[in-house]
Structure 1
Amino acid sequence: MHIVPRIPITGEMITSTNVTDAADFDLSTTYNLGDLVTDPATMIEYESQGAGNLGNTPATDDGTWWVATGYANSMRMVDGFLSAQTTNANSIELVLDIGQLFTSVVCFNVSAQEVTLSIKEDAAEIFSQTIDMVRTDDVQDLWDYFFTEPEYKTVAIFPSVPGFAGAQATLTISAPSDTAKIGEAFFGYGRFIGETLEGSGPQFKDYSVKEANDYGEFTVVERPFSRGASFEVGINPQDTERIMRILEENRAKVCAFFPADEMEHYGLTIAGFLTKFSPGLKHRGIVPVNINVEGVT
């Protein structure tokens, strides 16, 4: 299992993007009901709550004239949550100068045909990889090949990249003739914890509300869900102190967790918080350890 602590991405780190946001708030403009604006200081998007909205600053309004809707479109892919997606016609391109070391990139809640990561040093490309997001596990024979509607992966993992401080990273989400979408892109310094063992499995938590009346008729309010996991990980007892240090440092941070490449189809690529680490140590051999991760929405 690998852990990738998320580097918080700020507006100053974004060199360029092709994603369009709502226009910046202008104190001299009169806004109508439903108009959207962006606070350039925080990159929070606000929606006007009435016509004739003039001279009311969103960041200090009490909710009478403006309601925050979340981060602006371009920032939703780096806000730390998976459900709010950055969207754009045909492709999303984000160019970053993070200014610190990152060795792994994990993309969640993706809707696209390809995801490409390119890294440059002084305008010279030193790394480039494209991940095909088309799923092939439903294609069992020629009939499936010709008649099954294509399905797409929602997670793309770049486990080992040369993202040193000063390098420029370009992440491209490609969906030709469609709308490209991505919920979150984790950039971070990936660390290996141990081998993922049998007994590991994903967990699912739904935050929707389902209530029944006396006649058994349900009222359902659909809300976001999260995917967590219970990992069984084999570690070397002599490596316990290193692992404890990594997990302690990231105990209250949103991180990406993923197993080895050959376990891609196990549904164990998770974005969330570490909640449990309970090793039963012995002097020799590989020790199975349970690590629980609570997923974020």
Structure 2
Amino acid sequence: MSIRNLNVVRPLIVTAAMLVSTNVAEADYPAWSSGTTYAAGARVIHVGAHKVFQSTQDGNVGKDPTTTAGFWVEVGATNRWKVFDRSVSSQTAQASTIQYRLRPGQAITSLSALNLIGATSMRVRVIDPTYGTVYDKTVDLSRVPVSVGWWEWFFGERRAATQAVLMDIPSFPGADVLIDFTGSALLAVGVLLLGQLRTFGLGVKSGARVGIQDYSRKERTEFGDVVVVERAFAKRASFSLLLTAAEVDAFNAFLAEVRAKPCLWIGSGRYESTTVYGFYKSFDIVISYYDYADSELELEGLT
């Protein structure tokens, strides 16, 4: 018994040229200036790289953070660009609304938002210069009860969706893609991922395994007390697929191409936990039958 086909999205690398507009300011820290002297610990934004750097020593002047080693350490992407870095845990945060307008320059068939906090809705529009608005969908991300029943509805715990995955975007290479998030004062988005959807297999078999790899530190002191330092975690998943003979070579070649590239792996739309943004650890294809083959896929998500 299968859950659904395996869907994979190889993310488009979003560049500054693709960003038409956004309401997220790039003002985390002052912009780096070649004529300013920075003390140890001072942080700046390199506008061209869209990254934050921290000075490692006093008297730091005229040293470009992107080209001079030893004077700067990279902290990470700016708040505006955190949704496009390769980290799920780093988030673009802004109260109430977050908006992006992108011009990918190629057909996009899938769009996903991961690690959402405080979001109540996500609206995605595709606007073509010739045909106008060809796609307009709003995803409700409101908190819902975790259990069924009248008591749970009024008094029970409610859980908000932490991701939104759209796989029905029409192909218009010249169109702009507009993404609008609305939410609370704690609104934050971890990953905004666009790409072309690839589908493999006749189905992900029942028995799929999901979990996490926790990088928190849990140690006992000499007195027996437990010291816990909470850190990031990464999702894990293990899928068994049934492939047709005709797609064995294509699946094998695709996995070889993305061996060092993070992708979005979607095992089932029913279970959020089967959506993993990261790499595959290993895969095996067993040509069990003349017309069909079995495949085992181990996935490890990004933190």
Given the two structures, how large is their TM-score scaled by the length of structure 1?
A: 0.88
In structure 1, the residue matched to 2:275 is 269
Counterpart CA distance in 2 for 1:59 and 1:134 is 41
Contact 2:145/2:153 (8 A) holds in 1: no
CA contact (8 A) 1:113 1:174 kept: yes
Alpha-carbon shift at residue 164 of structure 1 (Å):
3.3
What letter matches 2:53 in structure 1? Y
Q: Residue in 2 aligned with 1:125?
A: 133
Q: Which residue number corresponds to residue 209 of structure 1? A: 217
**Aligned position for 2:79:** 73
Which residue is 2:3 aligned to? none
Amino acid at match of 2:234: S
Q: Matched residues, percent identical?
A: 28
Unaligned 5+ runs, structure 2: 1-5
Per the alignment, residue 235 of structure 2 pairs with: 227
1:129 and 1:30 mapped to 2: Cα distance?
Answer: 49
- Aligned residue for 1:115? 122
Shift of 1:220: 2.9
The separation in 2 between residues aligned to 1:153 and 1:33, in whole angstroms, is: 41
1:178 aligned onto 2:159: no
Matched, 1:16 2:24: no
Which blocks of at least 5 consecutive residues in structure 1 are unaligned? Answer: none
Q: CA RMSD in A?
A: 2.5
Report how far residue 24 of structure 1 moved. 2.6
Distance (Å, rounded) in 1 between the aligned partners of 2:268 and 2:219 = 40
C-alpha distance after superposition, 1:87-138 (max 9, x if no partner): 1110111111111222111211011111121111017111111111135351
State whether residues 228 and 272 of structure 1, in contact with CA within 8 Å, keep that contact through their aligned partners in structure 2: no
Q: How does 1:240-255 map to 2 (within 5 A)?
A: 240-255=248-263
Greater share of strand: 2
> SS state of the match for residue 89, structure 1?
coil
Q: How many residues are treated as equivalent by the alignment?
A: 293
User: Cα offset for 1:147?
Assistant: 2.1
> In the alignment, what sits opposite 1:89?
95
Shift of 1:69: 1.8
For residues 149 and 52 of structure 1, do their structure 2 counterparts lie closer, same or farther at Cα, with a shift above 3 Å needed?
farther
Q: CA deviation at 1:192?
A: 0.6
Q: Secondary structure at 1:243's aligned position in 2?
A: helix
Q: 1:32 to 1:128 in 2, by over 3 A?
A: farther
Question: Retained in 2: the 8 A contact 1:3–1:256?
Answer: yes
Q: Distance in 2 between matches of 1:29 and 1:126?
A: 49
The alpha carbon displacement at 1:7 in A equals 1.2
Shift of 1:26: 3.0
CA distance in 2, matches of 1:59, 1:250: 27
Asked whether the equivalents of residues 209 and 222 of structure 1 are also in contact (C-alpha less than 8 Å), the reply is yes
